[in-house]
Amino acid sequence: MAKRIIVIGSGAAGMSAASAAREASPDADITVFTEDEDIAYSPCAIPWGIEGRSAWDEIVMHRPEFYAEKRNIKVLTKTRVESVDGEAKTVTAAGGTYPYDSLVIATGGRVFVPPITGTDLRNVFVVRTVRDGRNIQAALKDVDRVVIGGAGVIGLELAVSLREMGKDVTVIEMMDQVIPRIADKDMADEIQRHLEDRGIKFVMKAPIQAVNGDGKVESVTAAGQEYPCGLMIFATGVRANLDIPKALGLDVGQLGALIASPTLNAYRRGRLVPDVFVAGDVMQCESAVMPGATMSQLGSTAVRQGRVAGNNAAGGEKMLFGPVASPWVSVIGDKQIAGTGLSLGLASWYGIDVATGKAEGLTRARYYPGGKELKVKVIADRTTHRIVGAQIIAGEEATGRIDWLTSAIVNGMTAEDFLVRSENAYCPPTSMVKDVVISAVEDLCRQL
Amino acid sequence: MAKRIIVIGSGAAGMSAASAAREASPDADITVFTEDEDIAYSPCAIPWGIEGRSAWDEIVMHRPEFYAEKRNIKVLTKTRVESVDGEAKTVTAAGGTYPYDSLVIATGGRVFVPPITGTDLRNVFVVRTVRDGRNIQAALKDVDRVVIGGAGVIGLELAVSLREMGKDVTVIEMMDQVIPRIADKDMADEIQRHLEDRGIKFVMKAPIQAVNGDGKVESVTAAGQEYPCGLMIFATGVRANLDIPKALGLDVGQLGALIASPTLNAYRRGRLVPDVFVAGDVMQCESAVMPGATMSQLGSTAVRQGRVAGNNAAGGEKMLFGPVASPWVSVIGDKQIAGTGLSLGLASWYGIDVATGKAEGLTRARYYPGGKELKVKVIADRTTHRIVGAQIIAGEEATGRIDWLTSAIVNGMTAEDFLVRSENAYCPPTSMVKDVVISAVEDLCRQL
């Protein structure tokens, strides 16, 4: 009998899992359950959708009809899974009971909204789904002043989009820097100044205490001050959506997310559950930099996890998911900021002593027109000299460089070894003859 | 007494060596001898200089006065080294005799001009020095038709520059594809079609037999056909400039270039020569992909070698130069082409059986405006599954991606391991959620 595979969740992880299951098994019976009305899109696209730079219809990669016709995958949208019976191996949803041989949990995350008053007022939003994006876009028509709660990359990308739309934008952040946790303060401050130059206001070290209004938001209180606004968006980070995993009794790790094996099987009371697989923001990962757990919560990670989970759920030739350095990049106004591995903050969280190297240059040869700024920071463990992290601010081409540094990190290269064995392709219109990445590692070696 | 260091050659390798020597030793006596009138520039810049996209004065990074004032390095331009006495440790040049404690040989390469008649006619050029570039630029004023001998990256970049200047351009190539040796035919053919669309003519499989004219070039004969032209440029590749090394009796390897140790010392009759160092196009390298020798001949390689050779020549804390995968990139019209490690041709030269994977996509998310084509090909050894090469054609951002793949290659990653452990940073304006590099390796795994 054909294997019955049920996937819960239709984001990058869930839909990749369903497609990988189909690739591994031409005859499996594959069903995706999702509460969402849209599927197969990247939440990272939403700031660009709100601004109108990308059309909502294009952001959504495929519709359920595509999966039905092209991949023989059933996708049930707006369908909440009510319960899962791990013994009987059934899912109950929309009044029906569906048996499975393999279950993939890709329930993702939910935006963390602080437990304060007023978050249920009209014109208070989170930003996660296309529906959120459309609702924000519609509500913005009658609004001049917006408060964004949280200065992470999504918050900042949103701030730029709304500013481009002519809004008065204030970002309120609890920490003393933008992009906290994954970016260092020196790099983050440069981004913050860039946004201030574009007219975006920042309120730092200010926990949000209340959302105020009569039916509809009128102001936000943070660190004792009141900030008037007609619309408020929480971009305060994502927490794993554990309702179903908890009901199934699956093991949750120290970071508040599901633990998974390298085959992406879930665990229950320390034992691997052979018929339950996990992918995406709902799970924690192993760090490729330091022994221990880490949260990745990136679309690119979710896609890779989905492929492994779906393939293994369908009984394909076993695939593994490795530890992660979690490279990220964000385009914020005219600048790109990217990072990988440990920031100084994360290094301190792991208790390791680090050295940093920095270099500045251009994305093209000095004399070739159109070159943009390129600033690279690299971080190494003082004891082992291994490169453990890097951050880049650039006018262009940060992404490939951070992927390059990520490869060095996951391969355990020391700073010295990087200089012996790393090379950069060069031509005047695309890099300096010695790429700034290499100059930064040279500086790092001087500090070690 | 301060160490006396003599560097012969003022290109990327020589000037990097001189600067690295100064960094390692504040009081060394450092002298650079060069036949060139300009120093510290990249020959790769010359096509852009001829077109006028970059100014000659800017292409030359620093003048001798800069080195004298800022780094206390003497640079003697237009000064031919007549002889070197390896026993007495002296260099004879411009009538003087200069003693050294360490000698750095960075004499680079010379354009290979085939031994045929007419290459000494007026308006026949090679393209290597800024002087060559200025001469070509001046001579082009009265010329409509140009023949370029050699369809390597410099030849093609030149062809585009001259076409942009309104010239009638014919490229004559001995092999059956452009960018032979380092690019595969499928990738190369795409570039050739792109250039044909821009009005550049190609004559393939046609060895150049004669340059014809009366005092000045009037035509070029290749494979029995005559191609009229008012100017002809040889872009036929570079051979190591071995005059001085041979006079010193230094060991030359199977590829016709100097052999050097990882410390970049030269060898004489199989023994390391402790006071003679080597850097740049004059030397052959160890391959990072397959056991054995390889030619790198890249500006980026020369800079890295110069740093090691100069530092070690000055007695700095010992540095090593590792094996190379030699990533390269070229902007040819609206397309970038990049490669690293082995092409199919080179793999066959090493006698290994390979599999290839390919994927096509965009440089940005599908729905984000401005995304450009991105085509990635990866090559793995069928026996070990190690990734041994990659090539990219893209509208933008090929460079960082090829550096990323280079890191995977030099770290010995297999195709399967790449999928387990490689990650890409993602945001809609700078990549697809699953980068095309990863999709190409997925395809490769299916072929293995």
Convert B209-272 into a string of H (helix), E (strand) and C (coil). Answer: EEEEEECEEEEEEECCEEEECCEEEECCCEEECCHHHHHCCCCECCCCCECECCCCEEEECCEE
Per DSSP, the residues of B131-182 read HHHHHHHHHHTT-SEEEEE--SHHHHHHHHHHHHTT-EEEEE-SSSSSSTTT
Break chain A into its structural domains and give their ranges: 4-43+56-109+239-313, 113-236, 328-447
Task: Name the residue among A404, A428, A435 with its Cβ closest to that of B48.
Answer: A428
Substitution target in A423, A437, A441 with the highest count of B β-carbons within 10 Å is A423
Task: Name the residue among B42, B322, B433 with its Cβ closest to that of A42.
Answer: B433
Task: Give dist(CA B226, CA A51) in Å, integer.
Answer: 59
Task: Give dist(CA A358, CA A372) in Å, integer.
Answer: 17
Nearest Cα to Cα of residue A439 among A341, A354, A352, A362: A362
Contact A425 B368 (CB under 8 A): no
Class of the CATH domain delimited by B4-109+239-313: alpha beta
User: What stretch of H or E contains A143?
Assistant: none
User: Phi and psi at residue A28, in whole multiples of 5°?
Assistant: -65, 155
| Nearest-CA distance B87 → chain A (Å) | 31
| Nearest-CA distance B285 → chain A (Å) | 12
Provide, rounded to the nearest whole percent, the portion of chain A with pLDDT above 90: 95
- Is the pTM here over 0.90, yes or no? yes
Nearest Cα to Cα of residue B375 among B355, B397, B344, B353: B397
Helices assigned H by DSSP within A148-220 = 153-164, 185-197
Structure tokens at A261: 């094996």
Contact in structure between B349 and B343 (CB atoms under 8 Å): no
Which pLDDT tens digit goes with each residue over B5-58? 999 999 999 999 999 999 999 999 999 999 999 998 888 899 999 999 999 989
Q: Residue A232 corresponds to which amino acid?
A: M
Taking 80 as the threshold, does the pLDDT of residue A1 lie above it?
Answer: no
Which pLDDT tens digit goes with each residue over B197-244? 999 999 999 999 999 999 999 999 999 999 999 999 999 999 999 999
Nearest Cα to Cα of residue B147 among B211, B216, B193: B211
Q: What is the pLDDT of residue B193?
A: 98
Q: Which residues of chain B have a CB within 8 Å of the CB of A54?
A: 365, 367-369, 428
Q: Point out which residues pair with B286 in neighbouring strands.
A: B293
Q: Which residues of chain A have a CB within 8 Å of the CB of B396?
A: 397
Q: Which residues of chain A have a CB within 8 Å of the CB of B303?
A: 433-434
Q: Which residues of chain B have a CB within 8 Å of the CB of A419?
A: 304, 319
pLDDT bracket for residue B309 (50, 70, 90): very high
Nearest Cα to Cα of residue B61 among A428, A413, A320: A428
| Nearest-CA distance B54 → chain A (Å) | 6
Q: Which residues of chain A have a CB within 8 Å of the CB of B427?
A: 44, 153, 157, 328-331, 399
Residue of A nearest to B434 (CA): A300
Q: Which residues of chain B have a CB within 8 Å of the CB of A329?
A: 425-427, 430-431
| Nearest-CA distance A124 → chain B (Å) | 25
Contact B300 A327 (CB under 8 A): no
Contact in structure between B377 and B388 (CB atoms under 8 Å): no
Q: What is the pLDDT of residue B409?
A: 98
Contact A428 B45 (CB under 8 A): yes
Question: Hey, what long-range contacts does A368-374 have (CB within 8 A, 24 or more apart)?
Answer: A368/A428, A368/A429, A368/B45, A368/B48, A368/B53, A368/B54, A369/B53, A369/B54, A370/A429, A372/A396, A374/A398, A374/A401, A374/A436
Taking 90 as the threshold, does the pLDDT of residue A305 lie above it?
Answer: yes
Contact B367 A54 (CB under 8 A): yes
Domains A4-43+56-109+239-313 and A113-236 share a fold: yes
SS3 content of chain A, % helix, strand, coil (to 5): 30, 30, 40
Structure tokens at B108: 């680079």
Task: Give dist(CA A217, CA A124) in Å, integer.
Answer: 7
Structure tokens at A299: 């679309």
Strands B285-286 and B293-294: antiparallel
Task: Give dist(CA B360, CA B395) in Å, integer.
Answer: 12
Which pLDDT tens digit goes with each residue over A158-202? 999 999 999 999 999 999 999 999 999 999 999 999 999 999 999
Structure tokens at A302: 């979710």
DSSP-assigned letter for residue B45: G
Which pLDDT tens digit goes with each residue over A160-170? 999 999 999 99
Contact in structure between A147 and A230 (CB atoms under 8 Å): no
Q: What is the pLDDT of residue B40?
A: 84
Task: Give dist(CA B43, CA B56) in Å, integer.
Answer: 11
Q: Point out which residues pair with B191 in neighbouring strands.
A: none
Substitution target in A308, A426, A431, A441 with the highest count of B β-carbons within 10 Å is A426
Task: Give dist(CA A397, CA A308) in Å, integer.
Answer: 29
Which pLDDT tens digit goes with each residue over B104-139? 999 999 999 999 999 999 999 999 999 999 999 999
Task: Name the residue among A303, A326, A400 with its Cβ closest to that of B434.
Answer: A303
What mean pLDDT do residues B143-154 have?
97
Give whole-number Cα distances, A102 to A108, A272, A273, A276, B22, in Å. 18, 13, 10, 6, 65
Mean pLDDT rounded to a whole number for chain A:
96
Chain A to chain B Cβ contacts (< 8 Å): 237
A328-447 fold: FAD/NAD(P)-binding domain (3.50.50)
pLDDT bracket for residue A420 (50, 70, 90): very high
Contact in structure between A118 and A209 (CB atoms under 8 Å): no
Please, what sign has the CA dihedral across residues A276, A282, A283, A289? positive
Which pLDDT tens digit goes with each residue over A30-82? 999 999 999 988 888 999 999 999 999 899 888 999 999 999 999 999 999 99
* Helices A12-24 & A299-313 angle (0-180, nearest 10): 30
Task: Give dist(CA B40, CA B108) in Å, integer.
Answer: 13
Contact B368 A45 (CB under 8 A): yes
Task: Name the residue among B368, B400, B420 with its Cβ closest to that of A320.
Answer: B420
Task: Give dist(CA B83, CA B79) in Å, integer.
Answer: 12
Residue with tokens 């995968």: B325
Task: Give dist(CA B84, CA B90) in Å, integer.
Answer: 6
Task: Name the residue among B325, B396, B419 with its Cβ closest to that of A423.
Answer: B325
Q: Which residues of chain B have a CB within 8 Å of the CB of A324?
A: 423
Contact B431 A59 (CB under 8 A): no
Task: Name the residue among A329, A408, A429 with its Cβ closest to that of B426.
Answer: A329
DSSP-assigned letter for residue B33: E
Which pLDDT tens digit goes with each residue over B180-193? 999 999 999 999 99
Contact A340 B402 (CB under 8 A): no
* Helices B185-197 & B153-164 angle (0-180, nearest 10): 10
User: What stretch of H or E contains B127?
Assistant: none
Substitution target in A433, A436, A442, A445 with the highest count of B β-carbons within 10 Å is A433
Q: Which residues of chain B have a CB within 8 Å of the CB of A42?
A: 365, 426, 428, 433
Taking 90 as the threshold, does the pLDDT of residue A283 lie above it?
Answer: yes
Provide, rounded to the nearest whole percent, the portion of chain B with pLDDT above 90: 95
Q: What is the pLDDT of residue B24?
A: 97
Q: The sheet that has A96-99: what strands, in order across it?
A: A81-85, A90-93, A96-99
Q: What is the pLDDT of residue A40?
A: 84
Contact B423 A437 (CB under 8 A): no
Q: Is B44 a catalytic residue?
A: yes
What mean pLDDT do residues A272-293 have?
96
Nearest Cα to Cα of residue B406 among A435, A299, A338, A321: A435
Q: What is the pLDDT of residue A61?
A: 83
Domain boundaries B113-236, corresponding CATH code:
3.50.50.60
Task: Give dist(CA A365, CA A377) in Å, integer.
Answer: 20
What lies within 8 Å, CB to CB, of A307 at 6+ separation is A16, A17, A19, A20, A319, B442
pLDDT bracket for residue B1 (50, 70, 90): confident
Taking 90 as the threshold, does the pLDDT of residue A439 lie above it?
Answer: yes
Q: What is the pLDDT of residue A43?
A: 85
Task: Name the residue among B48, B411, B433 with its Cβ closest to that of A368.
Answer: B48
pLDDT bracket for residue A328 (50, 70, 90): very high
> What ipTM is given for this predicted complex?
0.94
Which pLDDT tens digit goes with each residue over B418-441? 999 999 999 999 999 999 999 999
Structure tokens at B325: 């995968």
Contact B428 A54 (CB under 8 A): yes
pLDDT bracket for residue A250 (50, 70, 90): very high
Chain-centroid distance, C-alpha A32:
22
Q: Which residues of chain A have a CB within 8 Å of the CB of B428?
A: 42, 44-45, 48, 54
Superfamily of domain A4-43+56-109+239-313: FAD/NAD(P)-binding domain (3.50.50.60)
